[in-house]
Structure 1
Amino acid sequence: MKRHIAALGRATLDTLSSIGRAGLFLVQSVFCLPSREGFHLWLRQMHFVGVMSVAIVLVSGLFIGMVLALQGFTILVGFGADEALGQMVALSLVRELAPVVAALLFAGRAGSALTAEIGLMKATEQLTSMEMIGVDPLRRIVAPRLWAGFVSLPVLTVIFGVVGIWGGYLVGVDWLGVYEGSYWSNMQDSVDFVDDVLN
Structure 2
Amino acid sequence: MMQNPIQLIGRATLGLFGEVGRLAVFAGRVKGAAFTPRWYGGEILRQIVRIGFYSLPVVGLAAVFIGAALALNIYEGGSRYGAEQFVPSIVVLGITRELGVVITGLMLAGRVSAGIAAEIGAMRVTEQIDALETLSASRYRYLYAPRFIAALITLPMLVALADIIGVMGGWLVSVYGLDFDSTVYLRNTLDFLTLNDIFAGLIKAVVFGGVIAIMGCYQGDRSQAGATGVGRAATLSMVGAAVLILAFNYVMSTVFVEIGL
TM-score, normalised via structure 1 length: 0.88
Deviation string for 1:151-180 (max 9, x for gaps)?
111211111111010111111113321122
Q: 1:118 is paired with a residue of what secondary structure?
A: helix
Matched, 1:65 2:48: no
Give the equivalent residue in structure 1 for 2:29.
28
Q: C-alpha separation between the residues in 1 aligned to 2:46 and 2:143?
A: 11
Shift of 1:9: 6.6
- Following superposition, the deviation at residue 7 of structure 1 comes to 7.8
Q: Residue 146 of structure 2 corresponds to which residue in structure 1? A: 144
The residue type equivalent to 1:158 in the other structure is A
Which residue identity is paired with 2:121?
G
Q: Deviations over 1:43-78 (max 9, x none)?
A: 000001111101101111111111212222222233
Distance 1:34 1:55 in 2: 34
Change beyond 3 A, Cα 1:12–1:65? closer
Amino acid at match of 1:96: E
Alpha-carbon offset, residue 8 of structure 1: 7.0
Cα 1:70/1:14, change in 2 over 3 Å: closer
Q: Residues 123 and 169 of structure 1: is their aligned pair in 2 closer, same or farther, counting only changes over 3 Å?
A: same
The letter of the residue matching 2:28 is V
Q: Which position in structure 2 is the counterpart of 1:115?
A: 117
1:101-153 per-position Cα deviation (integer Å, ceiling 9, x unaligned) = 11000111111111100011111111111011111111111110111111111
Partners of 1:83 and 1:179 within 8 A in 2: no
| Paired letter, 1:125 | E
The code of the aligned residue for 1:35 comes to: R
**Counterpart amino acid of residue 18 in structure 1:** E
Match of 2:94 in 1: 92
Give 1:10 shift.
6.4
Give the secondary structure class of the aligned counterpart of 2:114: helix
The alignment's TM-score, normalised by the length of structure 2, stands at 0.68
Q: Which runs of 5+ in 1 are unaligned?
A: none
What amino acid does structure 1 have at the position aligned with 2:170? G
In structure 1, the residue matched to 2:19 is 18
| 1:101 maps to 2:100 | no
Identity of aligned residues (%): 32
Q: CA RMSD in A?
A: 2.2
Question: More relative contact order in 1 or in 2 (CA 8 Å, sep 6+)?
Answer: 1
Q: Check the 8 A contact 1:54/1:156 in 2, yes or no.
A: yes
Greater CA drift, 41-50 or 15-24: 15-24
Inter-partner Cα distance in structure 2 for 1:140 and 1:178: 53
Relative to structure 1, the CA distance from residue 68 to residue 14 in structure 2 (aligned partners, 3 Å threshold; closer, same or farther) is: closer
Count of aligned pairs:
195
- Tell me the residue number matched to 2:50: 48
Question: Which deviates the most, 54-63 or 168-177?
Answer: 168-177
Q: Distance in 1 between matches of 2:155 and 2:69?
A: 23
Partner of 1:74: 76
Question: Larger Rg: 1 or 2?
Answer: 1
